[in-house]
Chains A and B, each alone.
Chain A
Amino acid sequence: MNGASVTDLAALARRPLFSPRAWAGLAAACVALALLPGLNLVFEPGHPLHVSSYAVALLGKFMCYALAALALDLVWGYAGILSLGHGLFFALGGYAHGMYLMRAIGRDGVYQSDLPDFMVFLNWKAYPWYWAFTEHFWYAALLAVLVPGLLAFVFGYFAFRSRITGVYFSIITQALTFAAMLLFFRNDTGFGGNNGFTDFRRILGFPITAPGTRAALYWCTLAALAGCLVLARAVTQSRLGRVLTAVRDAEARVRFLGYEPLGFKLFVWTLSAVMCGVAGALYVPQVGIINPSEMSPENSIEMVIWVATGGRGTLVGPIVGAGAVNGLKTWFTSVLPELWLYVLGLIFVLVTLLLPQGIVGLVRQACERIGRRRGAGAGQ
């Protein structure tokens, strides 16, 4: 992908988004994944084809992570901006949706009050101004997209304008998410403090724990993931994507050639933040809780390793990486919990040292080798 040299920009513009085979593959994967909640709904527990609700919830969560990883790959793999604070956008989207879900509890909470429980025990009498209109789903959805996007835009504008790059940029994104985490941990901030938002009852009128709702959320996540994959592909295949790759490789040179990197970087940075926000918004109803530790620097750095493990600079890589690392985590923390952190640390080290292209790169190399051997064997 990155190595392919296409000098004819016109030809570049005419290239289809995905090859027919790729479309087929994507469709197949989507269908296969979409079947699972169906199996959960249709068959009874105990039936050999039944898929447990635990598995459906788990996969839904993994897909949200995959979407966040995809967003991160857009800025890191394609634009060379390593953000150690993407968890912030993920969490902000989650909180935005969470505000709606807290409102939707209505009077069913512990105190049977119009206000969420945490506001009652803080002695607040009314919602603060930033909670206005959040009882409407469309407004919360809008917030989930706008708030991360706006924050990213402002932050990115000032950062990229000052030409902060590389390690410095990563450090200040870490500072940003750390500061936000401290802010949200304060109960006085009005977002539930350490408890966060939890105990959701319903979404759009449907009970949130019903298998049907779970399935619907799963399908929405799948649709979002597939859609963002296509969108990301469109961005990276376009001329904008080429400039981005150039910015990643040699920013000064791009500037000298007459392009202003600020606009390009800002665009992809904001897009990535929005995608992350959407991922967070879909994550919260499936997991049932959001709390400021989602904004912790550790979480954001873990996102980076998903991308690195899968293969950065590809689009499928982060999805694979997110699934693989989180699957390993789930398995290890239930079977061998004491070993999990060693494994995770080892993944970090080995992937950066030995697998710079990630799993996808590995597979690609293997395929190339097989292809070459086949070609050589055919007497070329």
Chain B
Amino acid sequence: MRVIAVLLRALALAGVLALATPAWAASVDPALLAPLASTKMDERLDAVAALGRLPDPLAAEVLQALAGGRLYAAGDGRVLIDTGAGAIDPASGQALPMPGDAKRIVINNRLRRAIQDALAVSQLFAAEAGQRLAAARRLQEGANESFRPVLEKALQQESSGEVKAALEVALANIDLSSDDPARRRAAVAALGQTGRSSYRPVLQALLAQDEQGAYAEPDESVREAARAALRAIDRRAAAVEWSGNLFYGLSLGSVLLLAALGLAITFGLMGVINMAHGELLMIGAYATYVVQSAFRAWAPGWLDWYVIAALPVAFVVTALVGMALERTVIRWLYGRPLETLLATWGISLMLMQAVRSLFGAQNVEVGNPSWMSGGLAVFDGGLVLTYNRMAIIVFSLLVVALVWLLLNHTRLGLFVRAITQNRRMADCVGVPTGRVDMLAFGLGAGIAGLAGVALSQLGNVGPDLGRAYLVDSFMVVVLGGVGQLAGTVVAALGLGGINKFLEPYAGAVMAKIAILALIVLFVQKRPQGLFAPRGRSVE
């Protein structure tokens, strides 16, 4: 099977080389199209390879439509491309309406790979640099000697430096099996320079020994180069892992920070641990879902920006809920923090059940907008920094900055700080503690709502969303101490970082347990937390 595939690829190259300048044909031979809808995999693979050989851009379009699920088989055996507003018959190049009995041609991963291979060779000469780069990357793996001519031809014609480097690596991969030890050495060095772990196995294979101790690679200088290359790859891998952990820790820390910030404000202000805090996160997330549904229904063209619109909505909704909570329940329990804990727990149960009744017990779908999907590949693809997490890191810093501004440069913030330091004195001096309590609680709740928006982009949105973050938020608040923003920030980022650096060694669960144990021990040593409020208040 593999031999046939290789031969087919070679034939494909021969075909492309022979027709190096694209000849424009207006149609594709129907005999090549019909097997695409066949039930026999071999026929389909042959047809895909044959279409890849054709220089006709229409053939490439057929292949791309097949990969994208837009190729249909009509009842009469014709194969049609769905253009969204009708169909095109590649056999004639004509446009026509999609017949009612047309069925989508289903492909599987094997066909997808074959299509990518078939497209790769022709795309080496595509107009767009990005496509050429992707094609070159594709050919870096699994290319063999027969690809050399076309790769060298593409290298001569290539203008972009990045694509040139990719092509050189592809050639190096082929050179590994060359007869000339000098070429092999050069190839090994080139592969080692890329630092990519995917070359590890093939370089390792050079150093493999059989039972008599003979190496697979006869030339010692090449073996030396291979060892050096492997060391370079390992160094790179370690750097990639370290950077990866740093990023993951930062993103986890930013999530914790957002989740705990609201709690820190209310706890610092009123000494109240709000057990319904998790549910405020959940309400923020559901508000995002509602906004998304509204956009889907009334403004589908703007769907990508629903997250921005969801921010003020979530803030306002949760702030209102928080203020209502404060007015109805919490203010009667002033000075009794343990009772407040219990009462807010009861509220959380009711909120969860209310959401279940309204939205169903199932999770609801909140999709990432397109600018938050995917990721930035760094280290030559070794590490992907996902956009949604990057956005959340930036967002959390913005929120912290906003809160800092609010606390330090507004009157409300002044009152909040005064009450946090000494409630009675602030009362005596004329600060309207009742109103400030309500507004500050609303603020804390609103921030929880914003955090909910962020959380909705990361994971599930369901009635249980809040529970997952409750204990973590408490830990951040307890660790960071009360009254200082810096405490929450440091605690959150620190916990996120430690968790992610422990995880590769101990696993996710043990890392979590270790962190909880650390916090419990830390609190024994320093009960007020990292950044303790200064003052002479006793208890």
Binding site for B on A (CB under 8 A): 82, 84, 158-159, 161-168, 170-172, 174-176, 178-179, 182-183, 185-186, 252, 297-298, 301, 304-305, 308, 338, 341-342, 344-349, 351-353, 356
Q: Which of A82, A171, A349, A356 contacts B478 (CB 8 A)?
A: A171
Whether A164 contacts B523 by the Cβ 8 Å rule is yes
A348 touching B478, Cβ below 8 Å: no
- For window 266-304 of B, CB contacts with A under 8 Å fall at 271, 273, 275
CB pair B471 A297 closer than 8 Å: yes
The answer on a CB contact under 8 Å between B471 and A178 is: yes
Contacts of B478 in A (CB 8 A): 168, 171-172
Please give, as numbers and ranges, the residues of chain A lying within 8 Å of B348 by CB-CB distance. Answer: 345
> Would B523 and A172 count as touching, CB distance under 8 A?
yes
Beyond contacts A82-B338, A183-B513, A298-B467: 15 other A-B pairs, Cβ-Cβ < 8 A, are A158-B521, A158-B524, A164-B527, A167-B273, A168-B523, A171-B474, A176-B516, A178-B516, A252-B538, A341-B353, A346-B346, A346-B350, A349-B350, A352-B339, A353-B332
In whole angstroms, how far apart are the Cα atoms of A161 and B523 in the complex?
Answer: 12
A305 CB to closest chain B CB (Å) equals: 7
Chain A residues with CB under 8 A of B275: 301
Q: Which residues of B contact A170 (CB under 8 A)?
A: 273, 338, 341
Q: Are B342 and A179 interface neighbours, CB within 8 A?
A: no
Q: Does B108 reach chain A (CB closer than 8 Å)? A: no
Q: List 16 A-B contacts (CB under 8 A).
A: A162-B523, A164-B523, A167-B273, A171-B478, A172-B478, A172-B523, A175-B471, A175-B520, A179-B512, A179-B520, A252-B539, A341-B349, A345-B345, A345-B346, A345-B351, A352-B342
Q: Which of A170, A179, A252 is most buried by chain B, counting CB atoms within 10 A of its CB?
A: A179
Query: A182–B527 contact, CB under 8 A?
Result: no
Can you list the 10 inter-chain pairs with the closest CB atoms, starting with the nearest? A348-B346, A345-B350, A345-B349, A179-B516, A341-B353, A345-B346, A349-B346, A352-B343, A352-B339, A162-B524
From residue B28, how far is it (CB to closest CB) to chain A in Å?
56
Interface Cβ pair total, 8 Å cutoff: 121
Question: Would you call A167 and B337 a contact (CB within 8 A)?
Answer: yes
**Shortest beta-carbon distance from A7 to chain B in Å:** 27
Interface flag for B475 (CB, 8 Å): yes
Residue from the set B273, B347, B525 with the largest chain A CB neighbour count within 10 Å:
B273
B517 interfacial by beta-carbon distance below 8 Å: yes
B265 — which chain A residues lie within 8 A by C-beta? Answer: none
Query: Is residue B96 within 8 Å, beta carbon to beta carbon, of the partner chain?
Result: no
| A167 and B353 contact, CB distance less than 8 A | no
User: Are A179 and B350 touching (Cβ within 8 A)?
Assistant: no
Most buried by B among A178, A349, A351: A349
Q: Which of B498-539 contact A (CB under 8 A)?
A: 509-510, 512-513, 516-517, 519-521, 523-525, 527, 538-539
Assembled-state Cα–Cα distance A304/B341 (Å): 11
Which residues of chain B are near A185, meaning CB under 8 Å? 509
Residues of B within 8 A of A304 (CB): 342
Q: Which of B332, B333, B338 is most buried by chain A, counting CB atoms within 10 A of its CB?
A: B338
Complex formed: what's the CA distance from A338 to B360 in Å? 11
B362 within 8 A of A: no
Complexed CA–CA distance, A164 and B350 (Å)? 31
A165 vs B352: C-alpha distance when bound (angstroms): 30
Q: Judging by beta carbons under 8 Å apart, are A175 and B519 in contact?
A: yes
Known: A175-B474, A346-B350, A349-B346. A166 touches B523 (CB 8 A): no
| Interface majority SS (helix, strand, loop, mixed), chain A | helix
Q: Closest Cβ of chain A: how far from B474's Cβ, in Å?
A: 5
Most buried by A among B467, B512, B524: B524
Q: Is the Cβ of B471 less than 8 Å from the Cβ of A174?
A: yes
Bound together, the chains give a CA A353 to CA B347 distance in angstroms of 12
Whether B109 is near chain A, meaning CB under 8 Å from some CB there, is: no
Docked CA distance A82–B467 (Å): 21
Task: Given the known inter-chain contacts A353-B343, A356-B339, please indicate yes or no for A175 contacting B475, CB distance below 8 A.
Answer: yes
Which B residues are in CB contact (< 8 Å) with A182?
Answer: 509, 512-513, 516
Cross-chain contact B333 with A353 (CB below 8 angstroms): yes
Asked whether A349 lies within 8 Å of B347 as measured between CB atoms, the reply is yes
- CB neighbours (8 Å) of A163 from chain B are 527
Residues of B within 8 A of A (CB): 271, 273, 275, 329, 332-333, 337-343, 345-354, 357, 467, 470-471, 474-475, 478, 509-510, 512-513, 516-517, 519-521, 523-525, 527, 538-539
In the complex the two chains form, is A348's CB within 8 Å of B519's CB? no
CB distance from B338 to the nearest CB of A (A): 5
Question: In the complex, which residues of chain A have a beta carbon less than 8 angstroms from the beta carbon of B332?
Answer: 353
Cβ–Cβ contact B520 & A162, under 8 A: no
**Nearest CB in chain B to that of A185: its residue:** B509
- Asked if residues B349 and A344 are in contact (CB atoms below 8 Å), the reply is yes
Partner of A172, one of B339, B349, B520, B525: B520
Residues on B with C-beta less than 8 A from A159 are 524
CA distance A351 to B474 in the complex (A): 24
By a CB distance below 8 angstroms, the chain A residues around B520 are 172, 175-176, 179
Assess whether B342 is in contact with A165, with CB atoms less than 8 Å apart: no
The answer to whether B347 and A345 have CB atoms under 8 Å apart is: yes
Expressed in whole angstroms, the minimum distance between the Cβ of A364 and any Cβ of chain B is 19
Closest chain A CB from B334 CB (angstroms): 12
Beta-carbon contact of B524 and A348 below 8 Å:
no
Find chain A residues with CB under 8 A from B510 CB: 186
CB-CB under 8 A from A178, the residues of chain B are: 471, 516
Query: A311 → chain B, closest Cβ, in Å?
Result: 14
Residue of B nearest to A186 (CB): B509
CA distance A173 to B341 in the complex (A): 14
Q: Are B329 and A353 in contact (CB under 8 A)?
A: yes
In the assembled complex, how far is the CB of residue B537 from the closest CB belonging to chain A, in whole angstroms?
12
Asked if A348 contacts B471 (CB within 8 A), the reply is no
Residue of B nearest to A183 (CB): B513
In the bound complex, residues from chain A placing their C-beta under 8 Å from that of B273 are 167, 170-171
Are A348 and B345 touching (Cβ within 8 A)? yes
Pick from B271, B346, B350, B467 the residue with the most CB of A within 10 Å.
B346
Q: How far does the Cβ of A169 sit from chain B's closest Cβ, in whole Å?
A: 9
Name the residue on A nearest B538 (C-beta): A252
Q: Point out the residue from B333, B349, B351, B517 that lies within 8 Å of A352, measured CB to CB.
A: B333
Given contacts A348-B349, A352-B342, contact A175 B524 (CB under 8 A): no
Residues of B within 8 A of A172 (CB): 478, 519-520, 523
Name the residue on B nearest A162 (C-beta). Answer: B524
A164 and B524 contact, Cβ closer than 8 Å, known pairs A179-B513, A182-B509, A345-B350: yes
Residues A349 and B527 in contact, CB atoms below 8 Å apart: no
Shortest B531–chain A CB gap in Å is 15
B469 to A: closest C-beta gap in Å: 12
**Chain B hits for A166, CB < 8 A:** 337-338, 539
What CA separation (Å) do A372 and B277 show in the bound complex?
45
Question: What B residues does A305 contact at CB under 8 A?
Answer: 342, 346
B339 contacts across to A, CB distance below 8 A:
352, 356
* A162 with B475, Cβ < 8 A, contacts A170-B341, A179-B516 known: no
Q: How far is the CB of B333 from chain A (nearest CB, A)?
A: 7
Q: In this complex, which of A171, A176, A304, A353 has the most chain B Cβ atoms within 10 angstroms of its Cβ?
A: A171
Q: How far is the CA of A159 from the CA of B478 in the complex (A)?
A: 14
User: A341's closest neighbor in chain B, by CB?
Assistant: B353
Alpha-carbon separation in the docked complex, A167 to B273 (Å): 7
The CA-CA distance from A165 to B538 in the complex, in Å, is: 12
Q: Which residues of A contact B509 (CB under 8 A)?
A: 182-183, 185-186
Contacts A164-B523, A164-B524, A168-B478 known; A349 to B329 CB distance under 8 Å? Answer: yes
Chain A residues with CB under 8 Å of B523's CB are: 162, 164, 168, 172
Known: A165-B539, A305-B342, A308-B342. A174 touches B527 (CB 8 A): no
Least Cβ distance of A119 to chain B in Å? Answer: 19
Contact of A162 among B341, B517, B527 (CB under 8 A): B527
CB distance from A322 to the nearest CB of B (A): 16
Residues in chain A near residue B349, CB distance under 8 A = 341-342, 344-345, 348
> Quick one: which of B340, B346, B467 contacts A347, CB cutoff 8 A?
B346
- List chain A residues, Cβ under 8 A from B471: 174-175, 178, 297
Residues of A contacting B333 in the complex (Cβ-Cβ under 8 angstroms): 352-353
Please name all residues of chain A whose beta carbon is closer than 8 Å to the beta carbon of B474 when the two chains form the complex. 171, 174-175
